[in-house]
Amino acid sequence: MSEGRILVVDDEPQIRRVIRLTLNLEGFEVDDTKSGDEALDHLRSGMYDLVLLDIDMPGMTGFETCRAIRAISDMPIIMLTARNAEKDKVEALDAGADDYITKPFSTPELLARVGAALTRSGPFVEL
């Protein structure tokens, strides 16, 4: 049985691969995409419990993607980004993010934050 379904949105293939493998080993089903537009397509066609979202991507930024997701769902969104300035954290939270992790990150921290967000949100969130 799956621990939950997570969508990873990051333009860096290596980051997506590492996160996907890490979460798969913990029992999560993981889909990934490289842009905000693709993420919204995935979210419209599938059911996810949580989104891990980068800020700096080509096209739609993570901030814009977060706002678009928040307009249609209250599923947990965790920003996962190299940006560590306070203004970026505040902007992400104002856009609707539930949490913020800076790269580089540790596996235990990622898993703890994902677990906490999923615990707070309850079972599957449908769009």
Within 10 angstroms of residue 39's Cβ, the number of other Cβ atoms is 28
Question: pLDDT band for position 120 (50/70/90)?
Answer: confident
Condensed to tens digits (0 to 9), the pLDDT of residues 6-61 reads: 999 999 999 999 999 999 999 999 999 999 999 999 999 889 999 999 999 999 99
Average pLDDT, the chain: 92
> Is the distance from CB of 23 to CB of 51 less than 8 angstroms?
no
Q: Which residues of 68-104 are buried (b: 16+ CB within 10 A; e: fewer)?
A: bbeeebebbbbbbbebeeeebbebbeebbbbbbbeee
Global confidence as pTM? 0.91
Nearest to 79 by CA among 90, 119, 123: 90
pLDDT at 121: 74
